[in-house]
């Protein structure tokens, strides 16, 4: 064997297939792929696809309900809302699906809703073409009494639980259509391979596993997903570490490929790739989604899957300049939708639309520490790189330019046609006593001078400038060796 090459690892696990049946499979971990091939016979603990109360069995779903439209009336409780989590959405080419029903809460008490139910409408609002966010908002806006039109998608249920990024699923799946997609069924002597390059791997699976034996692996493009079960928690953790280690060894190659794409992308040229990794976003109200985060020297770019071309790289789900992004929380997400034992960080970004907030969870304390350090250092680095930003504004009825320099501070100037720039006010950061805004267009600065509070009309949401001021201040404090 060549020097430096890792010997393949193999072992027997179980793969969840259609109908919730667990099949014994042989996993083979190579340098750049994870192979799955059938072993002798199904594994123990066969479980149907879905059941009431968010379990993973399906015996609780009457056969007659499959693909039949039903109307269910839910009365919300004072605490806990509807008591469901959802997956899917138009962006994932999936219907809106109930992925969990919390025992004892409103949906559970109806005894008429099931994990695997597609929500067709809520209080008459059609969700058949809704994105995940649109569905969340529609569910959040409901009153105490909620009317859900649902349909149990028998064919879909095994798939939506198994996919981290969402498989291609239609409203009326046919047997032939299912065969075209990545099915968990492994015919005799047939194997499947998951490329390890930027694959998603997690033990935080739905449905939850009280024995902590589950493991989810999904290819970077979301086309191949495996839902696995190990013999015990230690084995599951060992496989998680092994797969993460093999995928991590490929990370330098991924960074080089992304750098090459950025270098040839015109306006995107010159951006270095500092880190790439998966984050699990906790969505408002219900549900999660996995996003691939690409951290450059200037931006945080979020994608639904690994971009394979310059065009895809230029179309992230979200793009935030680091200089206008702030890490506001890092650690156990107490009081949030996350369990307190989970690890998470929260980001806020100042944009022209206001403040955008995201809550992300990670797999390990090491991942959390790494992302925390990279984001804080990245924000300071972006501030040092930018040095200065400017914005058009109006002050005392006069059209002006507000310039903010990391070293020189604040300058308000005006330029008449054919004349040189006239400085109306100049103050260093050290004199800034207070800054605030109205969230719409006004920025207020107080330097303690005779001019009093300076009121600047920025003609658009001031949050970007507010966040940049904070980033400059934080970077200046860090220069002094202090914790910003």
Per-residue pLDDT at 182: 33
Per the prediction, the chain carries an average pLDDT of: 81
Task: Tell whether the model's pLDDT for residue 236 goes beyond 80.
Answer: yes
Please report, for residues 53, 192, 217, 232, 376, the alpha-carbon distance to residue 297 in angstroms, rounded to integers and kept in the order given: 45, 37, 29, 42, 12
**Arithmetic mean of pLDDT, 378-387:** 95
Confidence of residue 40 (pLDDT cuts 50, 70, 90): low
**105, 115, 103, 225: which is closest to 164 by C-alpha?**
225
Q: Tokens 């999904």 correspond to what residue?
A: 218
Which are the contacts of 337, defined by CB distance < 8 A and separation ≥ 6? 282, 359
pLDDT digits (tens, 9 = 90+) for 47-66: 333 333 444 434 456 666 77
pLDDT digits (tens, 9 = 90+) for 342-367: 689 999 999 988 999 999 988 888 89
Q: What is the pTM of this model?
A: 0.66
Q: Which residues of 98-122 are buried (b: 16+ CB within 10 A; e: fewer)?
A: bbbbbeebbbbebebbbbbbbbbbb
Per-residue pLDDT at 413: 95
Which helix or strand (DSSP H or E) is residue 257 part of?
helix 251-263
Cross-strand bridge partners of residue 331? 344
* Count of residues in the chain: 484
Tell me the HSE value of 36 on the side-chain side, using a 13 A CA sphere. 26
Task: Tell whether the model's pLDDT for residue 163 goes beyond 60.
Answer: no
Tell me the three state secondary structure of residue 326.
strand
Angle between helices 233-249 and 251-263 (to 10 degrees): 40
Confidence of residue 190 (pLDDT cuts 50, 70, 90): low
pLDDT digits (tens, 9 = 90+) for 91-118: 877 889 998 888 878 888 888 888 888 9
User: Can you tell me the distance from the alpha carbon of 351 to that of 445, in angstroms, rounded to the nearest whole number?
Assistant: 19
Task: Tell whether the model's pLDDT for residue 153 goes beyond 80.
Answer: no
Q: Where are the alpha helices (DSSP H) in 7-131?
A: 106-110
Provide the greatest CA pair distance for the chain. Answer: 85
pLDDT digits (tens, 9 = 90+) for 270-294: 468 999 999 999 887 767 889 999 9
Which are the contacts of 418, defined by CB distance < 8 A and separation ≥ 6? none
Angle between helices 463-479 and 365-386 (to 10 degrees): 100
Residue ranges with strand state E in 127-271: 145-152, 192-195, 200-202, 214-218, 225-229
171 burial via Cβ count (<10 Å: 0-12, 13-18, 19+):
middle
108 neighbors 83 (Cβ within 8 angstroms): yes
Per-residue pLDDT at 407: 95
**Quick one: DSSP state of residue 5?**
P
User: Can you tell me the distance from the alpha carbon of 79 to that of 106, in angstroms, rounded to the nearest whole number?
Assistant: 9
- In terms of pLDDT, which residue wins out, 418 or 10? 10
Confidence of residue 369 (pLDDT cuts 50, 70, 90): very high
- In terms of pLDDT, which residue wins out, 86 or 334? 86
351 neighbors 461 (Cβ within 8 angstroms): yes
> What percentage of residues in the chain have a pLDDT greater than 70?
79
Give the Cα-Cα-Cα angle 409, 411, 416 (nearest 5 degrees).
160
The dihedral built from the CA positions of residue 458, 462, 468 and 470, taken in this order, carries a sign that is: positive
Instruction: Please give the structure tokens belonging to residue 405.
Output: 């320099």
- The backbone torsions φ and ψ at residue 302, rounded to the nearest 5 degrees and listed phi first, read -120, 130
SS3 content of the chain, % helix, strand, coil (to 5): 25, 35, 40
Confidence of residue 39 (pLDDT cuts 50, 70, 90): confident
Tell me the HSE value of 122 on the side-chain side, using a 13 A CA sphere. 24
- The backbone torsions φ and ψ at residue 24, rounded to the nearest 5 degrees and listed phi first, read -70, 130
Where is average pLDDT lowest: 209-223, 267-281, 303-317?
267-281
Which are the contacts of 39, defined by CB distance < 8 A and separation ≥ 6? 12, 23, 24, 25, 26
């Amino acid at each position: 064997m060549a020097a430096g090459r890792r010997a393949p690892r193999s072992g027997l696990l179980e793969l969840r297939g259609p109908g919730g049946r667990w099949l014994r499979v042989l996993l083979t971990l190579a340098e750049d792929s994870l192979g799955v091939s059938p072993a002798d016979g199904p594994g123990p603990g066969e479980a149907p696809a879905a059941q009431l109360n968010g379990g993973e069995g399906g015996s609780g779903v009457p056969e007659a309900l499959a693909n039949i439209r039903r109307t269910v009336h839910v009365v919300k409780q004072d605490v806990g809302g509807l008591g469901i989590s959802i997956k899917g959405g138009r962006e994932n080419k999936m219907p809106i699906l109930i992925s969990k029903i919390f025992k004892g809460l409103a949906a559970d008490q109806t005894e008429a809703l099931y994990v695997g139910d597609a929500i067709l409408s809520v209080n008459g609002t059609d969700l058949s073409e809704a994105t995940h966010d649109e569905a969340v908002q529609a569910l959040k806006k409901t009153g105490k009494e909620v009317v859900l039109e649902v349909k149990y998608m028998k064919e879909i249920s095994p798939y939506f639980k198994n996919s981290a990024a969402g498989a291609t699923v239609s409203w009326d799946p046919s047997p032939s259509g299912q065969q075209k997609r990545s099915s968990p069924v492994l015919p005799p002597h047939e194997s499947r391979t998951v490329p390890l390059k930027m694959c998603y791997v997690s033990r935080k699976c739905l449905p939850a596993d009280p024995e902590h034996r589950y493991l989810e692996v999904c290819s970077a493009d979301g086309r191949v997903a495996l839902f696995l079960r190990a013999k015990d928690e230690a084995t599951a953790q060992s496989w998680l570490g092994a797969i993460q280690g093999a995928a991590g060894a490929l990370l330098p190659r991924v960074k080089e490929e992304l750098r090459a794409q950025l270098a040839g992308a015109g306006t995107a040229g010159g951006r270095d790739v500092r880190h790439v990794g998966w984050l699990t976003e906790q969505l408002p109200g219900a549900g999660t989604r996995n996003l691939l985060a690409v951290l450059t020297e200037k931006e945080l770019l979020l994608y639904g899957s690994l971009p394979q071309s310059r065009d895809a790289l230029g179309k992230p789900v979200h793009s935030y300049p680091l200089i206008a992004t702030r890490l506001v929380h890092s650690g156990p997400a107490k009081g949030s939708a996350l369990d307190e034992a989970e690890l998470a960080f929260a980001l806020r970004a100042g944009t022209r639309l206001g403040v955008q907030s995201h809550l992300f969870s990670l797999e390990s304390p090491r991942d959390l520490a790494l992302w925390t350090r990279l984001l804080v250092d990245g924000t300071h680095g972006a501030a040092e790189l930018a040095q200065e930003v400017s914005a058009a504004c109006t002050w005392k009825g006069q059209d002006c330019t507000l310039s903010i320099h990391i070293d020189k501070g604040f300058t308000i100037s005006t330029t008449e046609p054919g004349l040189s720039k006239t400085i109306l006010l100049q103050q260093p950061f050290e004199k800034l006593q207070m800054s605030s805004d109205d969230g719409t267009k006004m920025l207020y600065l107080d330097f303690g001078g005779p001019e009093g509070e300076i009121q600047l009309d920025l003609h658009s949401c001031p949050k970007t400038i507010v966040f940049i001021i904070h980033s400059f201040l934080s970077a200046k404090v860090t220069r002094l060796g202090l914790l910003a």
